[in-house]
């Protein structure tokens, strides 16, 4: 909690790319976004790249783009929907939905709600810019272990599994559930990830304030309220 108050959230600028690349390597290993990808994303959609810094070090990074409705699309991969992580061709300026490209937190700064804080920035953008909803392709990092112990389970069954407290069994889905995103469907061969058996899960949150007046006011109010909640949890 002490750290939470000292985290600075800001739009990523070109001068931050070095720090973001270091973070990406630590969070994702060789799958982390490189300089070229991050620069392309910032160029395609500057507001869609947000960082969290602590004592001048980049400790978190979220990026997103706008897309047209994708619910009815057949299966797609992370690479298809994000233009291989560049967003150059996939970002649709007038798209009605937000799509999450990436969320990374420094391993030494996890479980401090920084990931949730960055997600809130995406949801704030959704309300202010009057988008119809937000999509993300979630990992399911607990699937591989579960499947080894329960070989008969299918992925569509697995993504519905909940604990006794009503939260999803998988920690990836739990993170998005905490911000109101619900699973829609599993996407095979979404991203190379052994723990998720290469599956991604499309999760979605509807913007209940779509077409409401005073959207900036509403977005700031909700995000500030949520930040107070996160600070004490």
Ligand X SMILES: CC(C)(COP(=O)(O)OP(=O)(O)OC[C@H]1O[C@@H](n2cnc3c(N)ncnc32)[C@H](O)[C@@H]1OP(=O)(O)O)[C@@H](O)C(=O)NCCC(=O)NCCS
Q: How far is the CB of 171 from ligand X (least distance, A)?
A: 4
# of chain residues touching ligand X (CB under 6 A): 18
Per-residue mark of binding to ligand X, 132-171 (x: CB under 6 A): ------xx-x-----------------------------x
State which of residues 38, 44, 101, 114 lies at the interface with ligand X (CB under 6 A).
114
- Which of residues 97 and 215 has its CB atom nearest to ligand X in the complex? 97
Length of the chain: 233
Cβ 211 to ligand X, closest distance in Å? 29
Contacts of 56 (CB under 8 A, 6+ apart): none
Q: Could you give the residue ranges of the DSSP H alpha helices within the chain?
A: 17-28, 35-44, 78-81, 114-128, 143-149, 155-158, 171-177, 215-231
Q: What is the rounded CA–CA span in Å between residue 135 and residue 98?
A: 6
Interaction between residue 112 and ligand X (CB under 6 A):
yes
Q: What is the per-residue DSSP string for 109-151? A: G-SSSHHHHHHHHHHHHHHHTT-SEEEEEE--TTHHHHHHH-T
104 binds ligand X (CB under 6 A): yes
Strand 97-105 and strand 182-187: pairing? unpaired
Member of 32, 115, 122, 183 binding ligand X (CB under 6 A): 115
Residues 6 or more apart whose CB falls under 8 angstroms from that of 95 comprise 65, 66, 67, 68, 131
Is 92 one of the binding residues for ligand X (CB under 6 A)? no
Footprint on residues 18-37 left by ligand X (CB under 6 A):
27
Q: Which of 93, 111, 149, 214 touches ligand X by CB under 6 A?
A: 111
Where along the sequence are the contacts to ligand X (CB under 6 A)?
A: 27, 103-105, 110-116, 138-139, 141, 171-172, 174-175
């Amino acid at each position: 909690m002490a750290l939470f108050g000292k985290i600075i959230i800001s739009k990523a600028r070109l001068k931050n790319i070095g720090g973001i690349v270091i973070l990406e390597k630590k969070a994702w290993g060789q799958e982390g976004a490189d300089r070229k990808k991050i620069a392309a994303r910032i160029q395609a959609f500057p507001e869609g790249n947000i960082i969290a810094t602590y004592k001048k070090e980049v400790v978190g990074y979220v990026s997103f783009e706008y897309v047209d409705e994708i619910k009815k699309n057949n299966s797609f991969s992370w690479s298809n929907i994000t233009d291989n992580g560049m967003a150059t061709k996939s970002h649709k300026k007038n798209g009605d939905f937000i799509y999450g490209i990436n969320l990374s937190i420094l391993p030494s700064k996890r479980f401090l709600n920084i990931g949730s804080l960055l997600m809130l920035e995406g949801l704030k953008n959704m309300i202010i810019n009057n988008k119809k909803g937000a999509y993300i392709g979630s990992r399911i990092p607990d699937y591989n272990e579960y499947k080894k112990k329960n070989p008969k389970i299918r992925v569509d069954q697995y993504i519905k599994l909940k604990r006794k407290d009503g939260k999803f069994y998988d920690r990836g889905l739990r993170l998005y559930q905490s911000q109101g995103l619900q699973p829609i469907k599993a996407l095979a061969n979404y991203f190379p990830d052994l723990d998720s058996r290469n599956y991604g899960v499309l999760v979605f949150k509807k913007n209940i304030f779509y077409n409401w007046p005073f959207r900036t006011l509403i977005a700031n109010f909700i995000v500030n309220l949520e930040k107070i909640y996160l600070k004490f949890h």
